[in-house]
Structure 1
């Protein structure tokens, strides 16, 4: 069975955002939680906490309500000048499977919108499949003669996926790789 899915989260950014982290599409667990990387097995928030040497709650923190966790996560991103969104707006997805390999992309989010409304100077893709989606989006910008072509001039980094399916990387290894975000913010 295939489900047509529409992205349900707004991007997180403001005029002071300097880097953009892109994912592909929210997992079923994230949808249920109500925010990006809400799957308790995804290491996204734990990696950022290590990179920035601070505490960021995750969906595993049962002493807080989801709404409180989401507010803290959103504030963390904005305080550190990080924008967060996903490449895919609409997709077909096999039911009961959140893996990126099971996405058939129908439409992309207009990622350039965030770049124009902020100070984004670098883009970071959470995993190879997100990078592939972003490259397709950029190809679409080019071939459609879009005004969004200036996004193509930004440096784009592909970081190892924070998904638990990427068992090759331990948490410390991921944090080491992802620390390039902090260096970009400070440059």
Structure 2
């Protein structure tokens, strides 16, 4: 059985929203980049919503996510999984990332957005939080989840724009919205 291990988070001080996937797929692991599969809609959605050009170098895209107060990570630190399908993750093999530790390190995170049902289910099963934090499940950006078009996925992912511009996302120091 193939064991896959994820990446460190894309996160910086002041992040407001943590986007959690499940575990990087084969293409992402090969390229050592989140959402590297060319048919994955994640970077297309980030480009449309936040102006992060999907053709820009990966490091620059990561910097732009952080400047927008977005953080990205996966629920799973590692797991056994043949291929890239979330449904193939062997439940007993999951080792979760230290998401509670990240939330303590970056206390400005005010919302967790799951990139798909699999990430939400893995989180619920493997992560225990000592605090309540709003959580939303968005449609998976994976090309495997084709029940929704990219446009339909984009419409639901727009909630991130709303959350970032909502007054609740102002810093405690009173700085203006993003």
Q: Give the TM-score band, short-chain normalised.
A: 0.7 to 0.9
Q: Pick from 18, 21, 26: which aligns with 2:19?
A: 21
State which drifts further: 99-108 or 77-86: 99-108
Whether the aligned pair in 1 keeps the contact of 2:52 and 2:61 (CA below 8 Å) is no
CA distance in structure 2 between the aligned counterparts of 1:108 and 1:28, rounded to whole angstroms: 19
Indicate if the aligned counterparts of 1:56 and 1:72 stay in contact, CA closer than 8 A.
Answer: no
> Any stretches of 5+ residues in structure 2 without a counterpart?
167-178
Gapped regions of structure 1 (runs ≥ 5): 62-67, 142-147
Q: Are 2:160 and 1:178 aligned?
A: no
Distance 2:150 2:158 in 1: 12
Equivalents in 1 of 2:62, 2:33: separation in Å? 9
Give the aligned CA root-mean-square deviation in angstroms: 1.4
| 1:145-184 superposed matches below 5 A | 148-150=129-131, 153-184=132-163
1:135 aligns with 2:124: yes
Picking from 58, 79, 92, the partner of 1:91 is 79
Give yes or no for the alignment of 1:78 onto 2:57.
no
Distance in 2 (alpha carbons) for counterparts of 1:73 and 1:136: 31
Aligned length: 163
Greater relative CO (CA pairs within 8 A, separation 6+): 1
Q: Shift in Å at residue 28 of structure 1?
A: 0.6
Partners of 1:82 and 1:55 lie apart in 2 by 12
Q: Output the TM-score relative to the length of structure 2.
A: 0.86
Hey, what does 2:5 align to over in structure 1?
6
Give structure 1 regions of 4+ aligned residues with deviation exceeding 4 angstroms. none
